[in-house]
Every structure is written in structure tokens, then in C-alpha cells.
Structure 1
């Protein structure tokens, strides 16, 4: 594993070097074992080698006795949502996120749709290092099906968010430029915006996996998007990374809004919509801007911080909710005396 980056977020490396077929089979076999050889959902981004790795992963899972649901090209959050709302034992997303084109990787998703916890990750890596896998007998191999319905399901779920005023947004008839870097968001992001009533100008939305600029959505990589926003007199621009789990906004002046400001704005909107609640809580990681705390003060909300990493934020959120519910239960339960 020397040439691979192995972390709580998954494994990634340069294709043909650190990430080769042997490593794919090893990690996927270990994940099948980790998931009790249950049903696994499989998704991928559009990198030119993602289909190859997906086929390797699928064949390995079937050989381990796992049933496979192939979701196809989709954002990482779509696959997470699909796993959460299914009876699958886990999911594997083929992507290297915002890394350059020669990279690829595997993101491992637990049965609840989140990434593996540190404890789960440790157990999983032990299985990888042990490497002693028993493949299924010829009559016990898994079943393979394709299901491309989850993009639609994801959009439907978004339109069920109760505090979003969809009709007001539609009435604004925003003009939006979208740069999906020909990645996994190329279909779903423009479709979602059109359902919001936006006029969408597509930029790098062919979904062919050919990155027209460096894939990490940093300001220096978004010069084309910024220029098109100004030329088209658009209301704003959107850039996502290859697996569409990271977003950057561009203002009508063609200036990147910045991810730090985006999360502050999101926190402000949610707290504003939830202002009547007596107990308001926000969970972010330790590197998130302290501007979140300033916004939280305005709405009398408490901020909790976790170590960096999506699963750490999720764990902190769940633990916070559990503590709040326990406190509420203790305060409202009758005294046993």
C-alpha cells in the first residue's frame, strides 16, 4: 500500500502505479468481507478509467458472493443517499474526488449511507492487510443488476426539504452558469437547476470525463467559469468537482464566493428558517471559519466542532442529538420515587 493514500475517506492513487487491479481486488474483497458479503451498491464518476475499475470491483464483489446494484455514473452524495434508503450492506464509489485525471480511488460507504467511522476503518484495514479471502463457490456467487433511478430519487428528496421556498426561487428565473468539469454532476446538477426554474448555461457538462482544467474547484482553476458568468450576465455560477460532493459559487461579478462563505451562508439560511426553535445547534469541523460562530450567536444557536472529516462531523452531530434527546428525556420523565 506504499504508493496508495489510505485514509478514513477511502483509498486513492495514480492508476497503473499505486492503484492497480491487484489493489482494487484486495480492497474490494476486504470490503465484501467487512459487509458480511451482503448487497453492495456501486457508483462511479466519469474518469476515463472509472468504468474499468467499476467492472473490476463488480466482478470481485460477485465472486465474493455479494449481490451488486450498479447505480452507474452519479455524485458521491447520490450513492450515499441510495445506500441509506435501501437494504444494502454498503456502497463503493469509484472516484478520486478532486485529484488530477491520472488518479482514481475507492470511497467506502457503510449501511447508513455515511463513510466508515475510525473504528470501522481500523477493522476494515485489518481485513485488507490480512488478505486471506475465500471466494464463493460457483453456485453461490452474487447477482448483478443495474439501477439508474437514483438521480431522480435524489432530486425528489431535495424537493421535499421543508424550509426551501421552491416557488419563490422559480419566480426569480435565475440565469446560472454551471461547470461540472465533465464529471459525475454533468447530468444531475443542470437538471436540478432547471427544476428550480433556472436558465442553465452548461460549461463542461458533457460527462465525458475529460477535465478541461485542474479538477479541484479553486479560484485559479475557475477562470473560464468566472468569465462566462460575466459575459452571459448570469446571476451566479456553480462549479463542482468530479464526484460532485464539493461546490463553489461564483458571484454575478465573476468572482469566486469562496467555500468558507458558502457554509456561513448555508448556516444563516437554515438558522433563519428554524429561528422559532428553542434549541438550535450547528456542527462543523475544527477548520471551519469562526464566522459560523458569529452567525450562530445572532440566532442563539450553539456550535459544536469535530475533527476534520465528513464522518467525524456526522458522528458529532449524532452524538449531540443523542445527548440532547437524553437530557430532554431525563428532564421530562417522572421521578421513579
Structure 2
């Protein structure tokens, strides 16, 4: 983590750490770094988004950069617009699944991939130096406004098509997906029922799409006898799915199913996932000619590996999926269309899900001040290696220890002051035993780091 940028751009509480002044600096720094060209900017529905967007735009224009403002736009639409307009970069004003008092600034490359940590460090250096490019009055950048939604839907319909029509309930969580996801589903020929689709900036459910936050979606799918429920977080780069029986489909299961479908659709190859993904994916795609490559948590790491290996699909067990045939921006909206195509070709999700191997996955969050994370991780790494009998170690992002029966990942959050533990085992009893030991180890390490 850098001074301003975490694992997913700048993300802080508004008017505390994330102020218009900081947003202006970010705009000036990006403009200075690019030197010339065009930047697309879009915002999610948060009450602070317009304020921060205007500050970033001012910084960009002052350095001579042209700006295309696409207004309220889910992150996938920003990624799409960068390529559509041939821009040199993109900016999304979003805090994704964080609570409404947060917002963020995320920068995208011209190929739709998020800026890598190295590039973010360069932006931080420029922000701190104060050495910004300033152009004279007659060279200030030009601001234009565009709406690329129609083109997005047109392009999506060239890639995804359905033979039949389905009843789909779409829950966009009052986020930016409201303006696009239900419309794409309708254009696919489906009957669409929308939930929480007024983009107010006041969120009526927790934004992370999970079993608890999607209880209303699950009830609606059941009550309306729908074929599927599709949900998004605040900027719609993620997808959560409720099956035809009204049951939330666990992320690991959905990740395996869609990876398998992509291998069927595009041919065998590499599937990229992160160190917090379980064994089910490897087991499920092996017979479909897929091979799993694991990388750091975060969509930029997944996108980089996809580009490096020419992978077929990339996804995290958080509902963040990247379809390289479409774009290197994580896209929950296009993912929703693919889920419908999978149902159309292969059958109901409740049936497909039975084929995915099941393990017991447990997750824990333990409060840890940001300034203690590095020291605590050093202690955790040492103790974990001493305390558990493991066969393999992956330390590209936190510490993951594993053997044939289980795995445990200790990792500091890049977006919140917490330490995360994720583990998987073959039985509930074993998973709970491992978690108890892991939690104790982490709490002790944090106490020790405090001195």
C-alpha cells in the first residue's frame, strides 16, 4: 500500500482524508504523468461523487488534458468508454462496496486495466512533489460530455445471445449499475424485475453482494418464480447470483461455474484467480481443459496475469470477474449477461451447482491499524510457518499455507484497517479448529506489533 493508493485506488472517508484538495492533486498528477491526451471520467451514485469528479477534472484540464465526462457510470462502462473513445486513461470516482461515507479515485489504463501499483507510486510521487505541469490559458484541456450506454449494450449483444427468454431479478444496490444492468438484461430479451435501482447514493442494503445482503433478492426470486437473481456492488464491477430456487450461490461455486462456461465457450486454457480462491475451481475446470494460475488479490493483478498468459478468464472469489475477450476491466454487468447465456445453454444454476465440489470456507476480519500491518504480518508469517503442518507456501500476497486437505491465507486488507483470514477444509469441524488457531495467532501478533 502506498501513501494514498491502496489495493483498489484511493479510498477514504470523504472530507476527512479524501477531500476536494486531494482529488485536485490526483487530477493534476495524472495530467502531469500523461503529458497529453484524453481521459474518460465516470462516477458512482455516492453523494460526494460530483464534488470529487469536478476537482479531478479541474486538475486534468489545468495540465492540458482533454476530458470526456460520461457522468453517472458503473466502472465497467468507464472501462468500455476508454476503448470506445480511444482515450489514454480513465478515472472512476467510486468506493465500490464500501459504506456511503467513503469514496475513491481509481485510474485505468488505455487498455481498460487498472493502474498497477508501480504507476500509482509514480502518481503519488508527483502529488507529493507539487511539480505539476501547468499550461497557458489558450492550451487548457477541452471538456466534453458523452453517454456510451447504447454502444455498450450493442457491443455486448454481439458477444452474448440467448435462444429463450428468462425472468431475471436485478438488484443494483442503489449503485451505478442501476443505469445499465437491467437495460442490458431487457435487451437480451428477458423479463426484468428491478430492485434497489434508484441511484440515490443512500444504500438500503450492504453493498457487497453476499447471502445476508441479498436476502430480499432471494425472496423476490422465489416469490416471482424467476430463473435467476443478479446483484451488484456500488460500481457494478462485481456480481452476486441467486439461483432459481432463491438460494444465494456461494462465490467459489459461481466462480467455478463461469470459469467452466468460459472454457466451453472459448476453448481450453488458463484461468487466473487469486490466492484467496479455494480448491473447487481447480477440481471443477480440470476436466474442461483449464489450468489455474494464482496471483495477488485485486483486479489489476488478475488482469496483468491474464494479459501475460493470454488467459481465457480471470476472477476473484468476491464476484469480481474479468472476461479478456470483452475487456480487462472487471465487469459485473457483462458477467450478468454471461450468466444468462450459461443458463440458456446448460440449464438452471441450481442443477449446475451440484457438479461443483464443496469445501467448507471460513473467513474472519480482525481489526488492525494500518500502521501495524507490516510488523504484524512479519510476526504472523513466522508463527504460521511454525504452528501449522503444511506442504506448500505461497507468499505473493500475504501468506498462504496449504496441503491436500486444507489451506489458510493470512492477508492484510488493502482497503480497510483489518487483517483477513480465509481458510478452507474438507469438514466443518476441521475448518473451525483451524480458524480458532489462526484467529488466536493473528490477535497475538497484532498485540505484539503494538509493543
**TM-score, with structure 1 as normaliser:** 0.87
Over residues 138-190 of structure 1, what are the superposed CA-to-partner deviations in whole Å (9 max), with x where a residue is unaligned? 11111110011x222222222222xx4x242xx1x211111111211102111
Could you tell which deviates more after superposition, 105-114 or 121-130?
121-130
Give the corresponding residue for 1:152: 150
Over residues 70-97 of structure 1, what are the superposed CA-to-partner deviations in whole Å (9 max), with x where a residue is unaligned? 1111111111121133331211101010
Give the corresponding residue for 1:201: 193
Give the corresponding residue for 1:25: 24
For CA contacts below 8 A with separation 6 or more, give which structure has more relative contact order.
1
Partners of 1:45 and 1:220 in 2: CA distance: 23
Give the corresponding residue for 2:314: none
Q: CA distance change for structure 1 residues 260 and 181 in 2, over 3 Å: closer, same or farther?
A: same
Note if contact 2:38-2:68 (Cα within 8 Å) is conserved in structure 1: yes
1:62 aligns with 2:61: yes
Note if contact 2:96-2:233 (Cα within 8 Å) is conserved in structure 1: yes
Partners of 2:14 and 2:284 in 1: CA distance: 43
Secondary structure of the 1:77 match is helix
Give the corresponding residue for 2:81: 82
Secondary structure of the 1:37 match is coil
Aligned counterpart in structure 1 of residue 283 of structure 2, from 287, 291, 294: 294
Counterparts of 1:44-59 in structure 2, within 5 Å, are: 44-59=43-58
Secondary structure of the 1:262 match is helix
Give the corresponding residue for 1:330: none
1:240 aligns with 2:240: no
Note if contact 1:37-1:66 (Cα within 8 Å) is conserved in structure 2: yes
Partners of 2:202 and 2:121 in 1: CA distance: 35
Q: Displacement of 1:252 after TM fit?
A: 2.4
Partners of 2:50 and 2:6 in 1: CA distance: 23
Over residues 26-76 of structure 1, what are the superposed CA-to-partner deviations in whole Å (9 max), with x where a residue is unaligned? 112111111223211110111111112112222221122111101111111
Aligned counterpart in structure 2 of residue 183 of structure 1, from 175, 180, 192: 175
Q: CA distance change for structure 1 residues 167 and 226 in 2, over 3 Å: closer, same or farther?
A: closer
Q: CA distance change for structure 1 residues 281 and 158 in 2, over 3 Å: closer, same or farther?
A: same
- Which ranges in structure 1 are unaligned for 5 or more consecutive residues? 323-337
Counterparts of 1:104-119 in structure 2, within 5 Å, are: 104-119=103-118
Partners of 1:196 and 1:289 in 2: CA distance: 32
Q: Displacement of 1:198 after TM fit?
A: 1.2
Over residues 109-145 of structure 1, what are the superposed CA-to-partner deviations in whole Å (9 max), with x where a residue is unaligned? 1122111123222222221221222422111111110
1:43 aligns with 2:42: yes
Over residues 184-227 of structure 1, what are the superposed CA-to-partner deviations in whole Å (9 max), with x where a residue is unaligned? 11021111111121111111112222211221212211222122
Give the corresponding residue for 1:305: 294
Partners of 1:111 and 1:41 in 2: CA distance: 10
**TM-score, with structure 2 as normaliser:** 0.66
Give the corresponding residue for 1:102: 101
Aligned counterpart in structure 1 of residue 242 of structure 2, from 250, 261, 276: 250
Give the corresponding residue for 1:332: none
Could you tell which deviates more after superposition, 115-124 or 200-209?
115-124
Could you tell which deviates more after superposition, 129-138 or 91-100?
129-138
Secondary structure of the 2:273 match is strand
Give the root-mean-square deviation of aligned CA atoms: 2.0
Secondary structure of the 2:310 match is helix
Aligned counterpart in structure 2 of residue 261 of structure 1, from 241, 253, 273: 253
Q: CA distance change for structure 1 residues 258 and 5 in 2, over 3 Å: closer, same or farther?
A: farther
- Which ranges in structure 2 are unaligned for 5 or more consecutive residues? 312-451
Partners of 2:143 and 2:5 in 1: CA distance: 28
Partners of 1:215 and 1:297 in 2: CA distance: 33
Q: Displacement of 1:6 after TM fit?
A: 2.1
Aligned counterpart in structure 1 of residue 269 of structure 2, from 275, 280, 301: 280
1:123 aligns with 2:115: no
Could you tell which deviates more after superposition, 240-249 or 202-211?
202-211
Aligned counterpart in structure 1 of residue 304 of structure 2, from 294, 315, 319: 315
Secondary structure of the 2:81 match is helix
